[in-house]
Structure 1
Amino acid sequence: MTPPGRNTTTPQTPGRTLGEPIAITGPGGDWSRVHADLDRHASAVLYARVDDWRPERAGGPRLRALLGRDWGRFLELTHPDVRTRFASSRILLKFAAAKVLDVPPRTVELGYAGSGRPYLRGYDGVHISLSHTDELLLVGLATGGVIGVDAERSDRKLYGPGLGRHMCTPHEVAEIEALPDDRRDPALVRLWTLKEAYSKAIGLGMQFRFTDFGFRSDGTPTELLRPDGTPGTTGEWTFGTYGIDVGESYTVSVAVGDAGFGTTAETAAGTALDISIMDALSEVLGSDEGGDDGSDDWW
């Protein structure tokens, strides 16, 4: 994978600082930057390719233990690519959370709010966010505040009739229409990912109309804006947009909100799930049925 650095990084807003997304190429990847970013920025964003986290590498019983409550959802999916992407994204998220909490990945249990937003069951010191599209997996982690992440193909076509009805505020529409033709779609992809990231961070997802809030369309640093283009926040949010290349080019946006209680200095937890439960599950499932390369990284 090629690390970020295609001169597409958007200047960050005041408040918290953000580190650039970190490439994680598998369980044995370099996790030191994740800890460093959490120490420095109180947040970290990880990305990977689906192929680096394919679920069959975990093996049958191990995969079931890793997915936990998501096992049923995994079995219900019928399209092979969708199924693989679902499992890979959850495994990456669990490994990332496990590294932060200093627990085995199989003991991390995910819960989901009514909007579908994931959270760590039994541990609220670290906030998480998840996005995946095509071959890209994206995970956000934050302490002392909420986080949302989103990614889209950089070449996605979004410009067309109805921007003001479905996606953009009046201020954004005016700015987009003033741009040269070749800059409209990239600007709209940036706006879309920023709005998705913010909506995920506040836990509303698509329930929050994208025409009710906005950002600057020219890529300059900005706080959240009202529909008329005036500031809508007073510094409690930090936003950033990055370019990532994993064979295809993607636009990634991050939204981090400060809860006002400071960051969490100690994230390690005894466990996010009773280890005895997982040990019992492993005993019932028995030994691995294959698909293991002999490494314990996936367990």
Structure 2
Amino acid sequence: MISVQVAWARLGDAHAGLLTLLDPVERGRHDETVAPADRARFLVGCALSRLLLGELLGLSPARVPLRRVCPRCGGPHGKVRLAMPDAPAPYDFSVTHSGAVIGVAVSSDGAVGLDVEDVEAPLDVEGAARTALSPTELAALHALPPAERRPAFLRVWTRKEAVLKALGVGLRMPLRALEVSAPAAPPAVLAWPPPPAVPPEVHPADPRMTDLRPADLRMADLLVDGVHTAAVAVAATGATPVTRAGARSTVSGPEGVRVVLRDGSALLAVHAR
């Protein structure tokens, strides 16, 4: 069974004591971020990632070796990855945020992607749907009563975002060609663009991902604070499940994804303000 740790924290969990966990690149990005809310989200995401990975690796959070390299320009941005010096990285992780919610997912079973959407954020559902949904998905959305379209769209959107993050391609993959199951159905990838439709620079960064089929993706739907729509996806590679004592786990859907929920706010609070 695929296993994923998911920890949720909040914007208010940011405090100056967490700055000691950041490396020089992270500290520089933090200090250069102008908007206070964006700066807090970045700090919480970095600190929570380091706390979870440090626990798994047996390292202090500040010593977790992370690497940010854009596959297109080589700059210090893009998906953050573990940079183990002498061996393949034993874990993959994904950071997401929306509004006041910040989340981190970690898995040893494959490349992982996590997405959350603030249900109260302004959203042009019709405009976003025309851009992001396949013809089949769009028809299904329009078949719903108007009051049900926003939550249905967010469910589909978070699934797609989680998949794109797991593959490490971001929004450069044609969204309308990536099709997932209906909102009320168990989460699954039904189809994605054939290789000729995807530019070479958009191919997954991990060479193990290049031969994936839609059936190789495992997903789980999540709900944060009982209201915020979220999803996690893993491009399975068959490694050892992630488990930790004291964590609360749930299994979502028939795909066999075991989600181990962690209290990210509690982890961050350990460091003195």
**TM-score for both structures, normalised by structure 1:** 0.67
Which letter maps to 1:117?
K
Match of 2:183 in 1: 218
Task: Tell whether the 8 Å contact from 2:109 to 2:234 is kept in structure 1 after alignment.
Answer: no
Distance 1:75 1:121 in 2: 23
Which letter maps to 1:79?
A
Distance 1:298 1:101 in 2: 23
Offset, 1:132: 1.1
Superposition map of 1:123-142 within 5 A? 124-142=89-107
Match of 2:254 in 1: none
Classify the secondary structure of the residue corresponding to 1:255. strand
Q: 1:55 aligns with which of 5, 10, 15?
A: 15
Offset, 1:111: 1.3
Match of 1:179 in 2: 144
Task: Tell whether the 8 Å contact from 1:74 to 1:83 is kept in structure 2 after alignment.
Answer: yes
Offset, 1:89: 1.1
Match of 2:44 in 1: 88
Q: 1:76 aligns with which of 25, 32, 42?
A: 32
Offset, 1:264: 3.5
Which runs of 5 or more structure 2 residues have no equivalent in the other structure?
72-77, 194-211, 244-268
Task: Tell whether the 8 Å contact from 1:69 to 1:109 is kept in structure 2 after alignment.
Answer: no
Which letter maps to 1:258?
A
Distance 1:266 1:241 in 2: 18
Task: Tell whether the 8 Å contact from 1:170 to 1:227 is kept in structure 2 after alignment.
Answer: no
Match of 1:119 in 2: 81
Match of 1:159 in 2: 125
Classify the secondary structure of the residue corresponding to 2:29. helix
Q: Identity across aligned pairs (percent)?
A: 25
Classify the secondary structure of the residue corresponding to 1:225. strand
Which letter maps to 1:88?
V
In the alignment, structure 1 residue 263 sits paired with structure 2 residue 239: yes
Relative distance call for 1:82 and 1:172 in structure 2 (3 A) is same
Distance 2:224 2:42 in 1: 20
Offset, 1:55: 3.2
Distance 1:100 1:227 in 2: 33
Distance 2:225 2:103 in 1: 13
Which letter maps to 2:8?
Y
Classify the secondary structure of the residue corresponding to 1:160. helix
Q: CA RMSD in A?
A: 2.7
Offset, 1:235: 3.0
Q: 2:228 aligns with which of 246, 250, 267?
A: 250
**TM-score for both structures, normalised by structure 2:** 0.72
Number of aligned positions between the proteins: 220
Q: In the TM superposition, what whole-angstrom CA distance separates every residue of 1:42-84 from its partner, at most 9, and x where no partner exists?
A: 32111111223x13134xxxx2553442111111111111111
- By percentage of residues, which structure has more strand? 2
Offset, 1:234: 5.6
Distance 2:104 2:43 in 1: 13
Offset, 1:219: 2.0
Relative distance call for 1:158 and 1:233 in structure 2 (3 A) is farther
Classify the secondary structure of the residue corresponding to 1:147. strand
Q: In the TM superposition, what whole-angstrom CA distance separates every residue of 1:65-111 from its partner, at most 9, and x where no partner exists?
A: 53442111111111111111111110011101111111111101321
Match of 1:200 in 2: 165
Task: Tell whether the 8 Å contact from 1:171 to 1:227 is kept in structure 2 after alignment.
Answer: no
Classify the secondary structure of the residue corresponding to 1:217. coil
Task: Tell whether the 8 Å contact from 1:125 to 1:264 is kept in structure 2 after alignment.
Answer: no
Distance 1:227 1:145 in 2: 19
Classify the secondary structure of the residue corresponding to 1:173. helix
Task: Tell whether the 8 Å contact from 1:42 to 1:144 is kept in structure 2 after alignment.
Answer: yes
Offset, 1:216: 2.2
Which letter maps to 2:125?
Y
